[in-house]
Amino acid sequence: MLTIAFLVSFFFAMNIGASGAAAAMGVAYGAGAIKRKHVALLLCGLGVFLGSLGGGEVVKTIGSGIIPSSILTVKIVIIILTAATISLFAANIMGIPLSTSEITVGSVVGVGIAYEALYVSKLLFIVSIWVVVPIIAFTLTLIIGKWFLALKRKYPQVEKGKWQQSFMALLIVAGFFEAFSAGMNNVANAVGPLVGAGLISITKGTIFGGLFVALGALLLGRRVLETNGKKITRFSPFEGCAISGTGAILVIISSVFGLPVPLTQITTSAIIGIGTAKTGFYIWQKRIVIQLLKVWFVSPIFSLVISYSLVKLLLDSDLYTVIAIFSVCLATIGVISLKKTISEEKRSLHENGGGI
């Protein structure tokens, strides 16, 4: 069981590196500041590993700040990590950008609910941070974007020649800084439960966790890097610096205080801020805000349900509770599908002037 716990933890760490950490250099790669993919991934891996060495406070929060460490047995650790890994894997299959911090916290909370042992005040504080930090990211990049637009009107040459090269170099630094912040905050998601159960020390946990997250970025991050690079090419080098730099600063500050935060939502909010500065609130009509809120809500709930169900099924042998949860999930999916069908039928009736 101990071996399984470590294997699941390190496999989860590699998935974190593949899905999230590799995206840290996506802006620099997409904008052409880094030409070769393997160079971008190497810089990302190095930044993630160095950042993980300073992630001890977040490890403490994941390990014992949400539920008592006394209930963290080897089996519970496996359930928490398995639920988080299943959530992340399912999200990757469906193309949903879930936050690794949110799904890990959700998995821990699911176990806490199953054992009726949850530090509610600490949890509510973490959730409030999940709301506040993206708003701060949006506000900062909106202000920076407005300022830079005014600067370009006054000095059109600010994005040409040597200025352009300087912004490119700064963009590489900002990308490395963001990878550093990802390591500082996200490595705790993979090793926090191990540390909380006393299976490994904080120092060794952050080192090994950082190595496997970096390894995941190097070996499995090529597709994520390519995808994010293509999506971000519409941003200028300066705008890329604003997005990566803002995200990195906010995540590092959160990590110092031991708060696991969603880098995905922070980055998306920063992108919205830059977009709003350029085109006004027209960007909000693209439903990107609604998508952000859905991701924020779905991420922890999905893993919470899985971890709670696994505890009830595997440890408590409570099959009835699992059946009830499964039935609720099926009913929810059915209602959503029915609502979609009714909407399509109404649309067909409106467009064609007839029913079925």
DSSP state string for 48-116: HHHHHTT-HHHHHIIIIISS-GGG--HHHHHHHHHHHHHHHHHHHHHT----HHHHHHHHHHHHHHHTT
Tokens of 90: 């399912």
**64 has a pLDDT exceeding 50:** yes
Counting the structural domains of the chain, the total is: 2
Both 50 and 84 in a single domain?
yes
Q: 241 lies in which domain range?
A: 2-317
Report the alpha-carbon distance of residue 214 to residue 187 in Å, rounded.
10
pLDDT of residue 252: 94
Report the alpha-carbon distance of residue 185 to residue 105 in Å, rounded.
13
Tokens of 99: 């936050």
pLDDT of residue 80: 92
Both 286 and 327 in a single domain?
no
What is the number of other CB atoms lying within 10 angstroms of the CB of residue 168? 18
Burial 277-290 (b: 16+ CB within 10 A, else e): bbeeeebeeeeeee
pLDDT of residue 355: 46
**318 has a pLDDT exceeding 60:** yes
Specify the pTM.
0.84
CA angle 232, 235, 237 (to 5 degrees): 110
pLDDT of residue 356: 46
**354 has a pLDDT exceeding 60:** no
Both 243 and 272 in a single domain?
yes
Both 324 and 271 in a single domain?
no
Share of the chain above pLDDT 70, in %: 86
Both 271 and 338 in a single domain?
no
What is the number of other CB atoms lying within 10 angstroms of the CB of residue 345? 12
pLDDT in tens, 220-242: 777 777 766 665 446 788 888 89
Handedness of CA 325, 298, 51, 229 (dihedral sign): positive
Tokens 């009714």 found at: 342
Both 269 and 322 in a single domain?
no
Both 232 and 116 in a single domain?
yes
* Beta-carbon contacts of residue 90 (< 8 Å; ≥ 6 apart): 302
Both 336 and 303 in a single domain?
no
pLDDT of residue 236: 80
